[in-house]
A and B are shown apart, each in its own frame.
Chain A
Amino acid sequence: MKITTDKVNSNLVREVEEVSGQKVSACFQCGKCSGGCPVVLTMDVLPHQVLRYAQLGLVDELLHCKTLWICASCQTCDSRCPRNVDIPKVIEALRLLVLRNKGGNYLHPNDLSEKVRRNAPQQGLVSAFRKFAK
């Protein structure tokens, strides 16, 4: 990873800000989001790092990180954010940038386990496909 002027000035950052409606520059890196995230253990880029990468234009790195598919949009992070940054919205914007590309879908109906097919509530299925496929 390398921070360069090109990256910092990249249009991708603006696109993320536009789609999410969030200002990534508002974050002052206190880490309260990551500390309270219930699914942070398996993330490769922690929530506060998502904001940091975005601030520095490391959007490419973000588009390839696992975190986008781990965030559960539970909104614990933004409910504690002292800077009023809605982090799930930033992650959603990044996810959309991936999903809107051809072949970007993360979840296919064939991927569902037997248990999920049999027992899962519609609420869960609809949510998952809205988050992980387009």
Chain B
Amino acid sequence: MRYSYYPGCTLKTMAKIYEDTALSTAKALGLNLTEIKEWQCCGALYPLNTEEIFSFFSPVRALLQARAGGEDKLLTLCAGCYNVFKRTNKAVREDGELRRKINDYLEDDYIGEVEVVHYLEVLKNDVGFAFLAERVKKKLTGRKLAPYYGCLLLKPWAEMDLDDVENPTIFENFLTALGATVVDYPYKTECCGSYLSMANEDIASAAVGRILVSAYKNGAEAFVVACPLCKYNLEEYQKELFAAGREPQLKLPVVYFTEILAEALAL
């Protein structure tokens, strides 16, 4: 199975391990990922207004690169990129006026023909969790892992359409396939504070605190994430709360799902 691949800024720097483990596990599972040429930052955020046409250019250019590469699907890892690409693609497909404007600027004719997928989605639909379970070399038996979805993978549901927005199961099924014990807790889809941690740290800290307590109370030993910003927030504020002597006094590791996958595949 072949895919175009868009890494995004963070995966080339702060989240190098996310990319490394994604690429090595993909290879081990027989997935062929080709990084697209000439990509830029996707913009990190999908524009939430009717006036910002320029924000669409970078993701559409990347989608055009993917199309030029000849693959049907563009694979993403960072939940932020995934959110931007999936929504941009849907908007281009469905909003004729927007499509016309973007193509006028880019002097091209993109109509949304590339399909945007997340690696988790590929593991579920293209590889199959049953097949994945067979390929596991080191079962994660006894590991109590709390999947943390955050927001960008799932919301807004009408545009992302990855999983049930309130009761998602894709992470759980993935972890189950690896033999881990899945920790169910009601905060797994509650926001970690996102980019507020850059400016309003107290707010992000409070948001993280609630997620930590909920996961811990339900028996979690570690978080599994798909978003570099979620990982940063969960890790940094955990450290901070710990250092400040504030409850909960926890040190729950936060790992990318690809790291866990690499471990299970004994890579």
Interface residues of A (CB under 8 A from B): 18-21, 38-39, 41-42, 69-70, 72-76, 78-79, 86, 88-89, 92-93, 96, 106-107, 111-113, 115-116, 119-128, 130-132
Contacts and interface: CB of A to CB of B under 8 A. Distances in A.
Contacts of B43: 126, 130
Contact of A127 (B14, B44, B203): B44
A124 B200 contact: no
Q: Closest 6 interchain pairs by CB? A: A128-B198, A74-B191, A127-B195, A126-B44, A75-B155, A92-B48
A86 B193 CA distance: 19
Main secondary structure of the interface of B (DSSP, over half): loop
Contacts of A123: 8-10, 44, 78, 80, 227-229
Interface of B: 8-10, 13-15, 41, 43-45, 48-51, 78, 80, 151, 155-157, 165, 189-191, 193-203, 206-207, 210, 227-229, 231-232, 236
A20 B191 contact: no
Contacts of B78: 123
Contacts of B203: 39, 42, 70, 72
Interface centre among A38, A107, A123 (most CB of B within 10 A): A123
A132 B8 contact: no
Contacts, number: 135
A92 to B, nearest CB: 4
B49 A21 contact: yes
A125 B50 contact: no
A89 B49 CA distance: 6
A119 B228 CA distance: 11
Contact of A115 (B155, B189, B202, B236): B236
Contact of B49 (A19, A41, A74, A132): A19
